Structure formats: C-alpha cells, structure tokens
Amino acid sequence: MTKDHANGDPAPGTGTGAPRDGSGELRIRVPDASRITDLTAARAAIDAIDAALADLLARRTEVAGVVQRLKPVGGFAGRNPERERQIVAAMAERAPALGPDRLARIMNAVIEAGLEVAEETSRG
C-alpha cells in the first residue's frame, strides 16, 4: 500500500484508505472537496472515502450481529423502528446536507443488510 510519507497513513485513493492497526482507531485523510480541481483527484478522494466506508460498514455489521444475539428477540423479528429513528436523527445532525429522508433510506439499507448477515450467520 502506498504510504503518506508524513504519518504513515495510506495516501488518498490508494490501498484501503483506512489502516487497521489493532487499535480500533480508524483514520482517513480526506481532502477538502472545495480544493479538488481535477477529475482524477476527485475520484481518488472518493475511492479513499469509499474504502473507509466499507471498513465502517463491515465493523457496523459485526457489532449489529452482537446486538442481535444480545436482544431477547433478534433479527428482523426484533426490528425496533424507534431506535432506527433515533439513529437517523443523530446522523441527520451530522450530515444536514443529506437530510433525514435520504439518511433514512441509506440506513434502512445498512440496517437490513446487517440483519441479513446476522440471520445467515446464526443459521450457520
């Protein structure tokens, strides 16, 4: 993986974009979008962000699987719309440009994917 010489992080658009060093910490260097002026750099930035998103989604899926095992009723049968609304509301505060309706669609897909993986895993 190409390393950023300053701090050892992967350069944007190379490698996974999100080092796994066992610390549980996930770091990504993202250029300020307003400073990107060419298509190659813009796509490299997207690739780095998507690599970090993939890492986060994988980790979220693992933790959501633990939640399913801890709940009295896990999986799709134990779906909790109020908790999902809270998740979306908290994310909408951090990402106002997306807004709650789009974030609800995104998180519905994320949550359902996590529940599918948890159910497949529990079936063995």
Ligand X SMILES: O=C(O)C(=O)C[C@]1(C(=O)O)C=C[C@@H](O)C=C1
Stretch that binds ligand X, among 1-9, 20-28, 30-38, 110-118 (CB under 6 A): 110-118
Separation CA 69–CA 84 (nearest Å)? 18
Separation CA 44–CA 59 (nearest Å)? 23
Give whichever of 55 and 84 is closer to ligand X, judged by the CB atom. 84
Q: Which of 60, 50, 15 is nearest to 30 (CA)?
A: 50
| Closest distance of CB 59 from ligand X, Å | 12
At 115, the amino acid letter reads L
Q: Does 79 bind ligand X (CB under 6 A)?
A: yes
Q: Which of 80, 108, 121, 122 binds ligand X (CB under 6 A)?
A: 80
Q: Does 119 bind ligand X (CB under 6 A)?
A: no
